[in-house]
Amino acid sequence: MAEFDINILGCGSALPTTRHLATSQIIDLRDKLYMVDCGEGTQVQMRHMRIKFSRLNHIFISHLHGDHCFGLPGLLSTLGMLGRTGELVIHGPKELENYLRPVLTIFCKGLPYEIRINTVDTYQHSLIMEDRSLSVYSIPLKHRIPCCGYLFVEKQKEAHILREMTDFYQVPVRMMQEIKRGADFITEEGEIIPNARLTHPAKPAKRYAYCSDTAFYPNIIPYIEGVDLLYHEATFAECDAARAKETFHSTAKQAAEIAKRAQVKQLVIGHYSARYENLSQLKQEADEIYTDTTLANEGMVISLS
């Protein structure tokens, strides 16, 4: 079972190339799937990466540019044809509803499942959704249109019971849940057994921040400080910094600057402009600021656990 994996389905930008696909990622957290962005071709790429359609319950859309959402109509139709019945929630900016409603009306008559659109205020850092494993927060970004990133915060897992110890102290079954959550145990004789002797701590909860598309925007630093992994867009090389500024995108160096200042544990860059056949320049420019940047690529899976 995947503990906390980030699957890169596509990491290109708006213009189609044979090297990269439009943006989409799937976060696989304890076998529940959360999609971020859904560019054209996402559903086919899910097939290529053998990602199960049925485990997907939430889609987060960063902004209404085609390379981040033109895969939605196909994916939503396919989920219907596959006989999905459970609700699907799509989180995204206000305009998402105007985009999807006509598509659903024309193409998805009699869909066997509900689609709920949850409007996200892209200008606020706030809690967007929460379930047993995860909380997701918006990260306001700076782009040409309303746009936000998403911060995926794993919930702390319960500690593992050390069976031989609980047997030894004859801990009753009804106490186990509390002990998993950190309680000490008091024996019939009144002896306090500290939790640390009864359990093995769970791995620390992880955090993943997705930031695309955005200009260089240090305001995001407080939200992403110390995350285990930051995906930051790096559309341009430094020689095209003027173009980056003009189009509200970042250079690889700027992405690295954000990663360094936020002291993130790992940096992955993507959303490459179609103009670069070779991405070594982007990596080199990022590495000068933040050591060992990872270049995203289609099919890449990054495990946080």
Out of 7, 24, 43, 122, the only residue in the binding site for a second copy (CB under 8 A) is 43
Nearer to a second copy, 110 or 194 (CB): 110
# binding residues, a second copy (CB under 8 A):
33
- Output b/e per residue, 253-267; b: 16+ Cβ within 10 A: bbbbbbbeebebebb
Nearer to a second copy, 21 or 286 (CB): 21
CB of 237 to a second copy, least distance (A): 19
CB of 49 to a second copy, least distance (A): 10
Out of 16, 153, 161, 240, the only residue in the binding site for a second copy (CB under 8 A) is 16
Q: Show contacts of 159-164: CB within 8 Å, 24+ apart.
A: 159/195, 159/199, 159/200, 159/201, 159/202, 160/199, 160/200, 160/201, 160/202, 161/198, 161/199, 162/197, 162/198, 162/199, 162/200
Residue 240 in contact with a second copy, rule: CB under 8 A: no
Cα radius of gyration rounded to whole Å, the chain: 22
Q: What would the two tokens of residue 1 be?
A: 């079972």
Nearer to a second copy, 37 or 154 (CB): 37
Of 93, 209, 205, nearest to 151 by C-alpha is 209
Out of 31, 52, 81, 177, the only residue in the binding site for a second copy (CB under 8 A) is 81
Residue 74 in contact with a second copy, rule: CB under 8 A: yes
Residue 271 assigned ligand-binding role? yes
Residue ranges of E strands in 155-271 = 160-161, 185-186, 192-193, 199-200, 207-211, 229-233, 267-270
**Active-site choice (5, 28, 37, 67):** 67
Stretch that binds a second copy, among 97-105, 201-209, 212-220, 251-259 (CB under 8 A): 97-105
Q: In what order do the strands lie in the sheet with 207-211?
A: 127-130, 134-140, 148-154, 207-211, 229-233, 267-270, 294-295
Residue ranges of E strands in 63-212 = 88-92, 115-119, 127-130, 134-140, 148-154, 160-161, 185-186, 192-193, 199-200, 207-211
CB of 162 to a second copy, least distance (A): 45
Out of 32, 70, 162, 247, the only residue in the binding site for a second copy (CB under 8 A) is 70
| Helix ranges restricted to H, 181-231 | 195-198, 221-224
Out of 6, 29, 36, 46, the only residue in the binding site for a second copy (CB under 8 A) is 46
Q: Is 67 annotated in the active site?
A: yes
Residue 15 in contact with a second copy, rule: CB under 8 A: yes
Stretch that binds a second copy, among 26-34, 43-51, 126-134, 230-238 (CB under 8 A): 43-51
Give the annotated binding-site residues. 63, 65, 67-68, 143, 213, 271
Residues belonging to the active site: 67
- What residues line the site for a second copy (CB under 8 A)? 14-18, 21-22, 40-41, 43-44, 46-48, 64-67, 70-71, 73-74, 77-78, 81-82, 95, 98-99, 102-103, 106-107
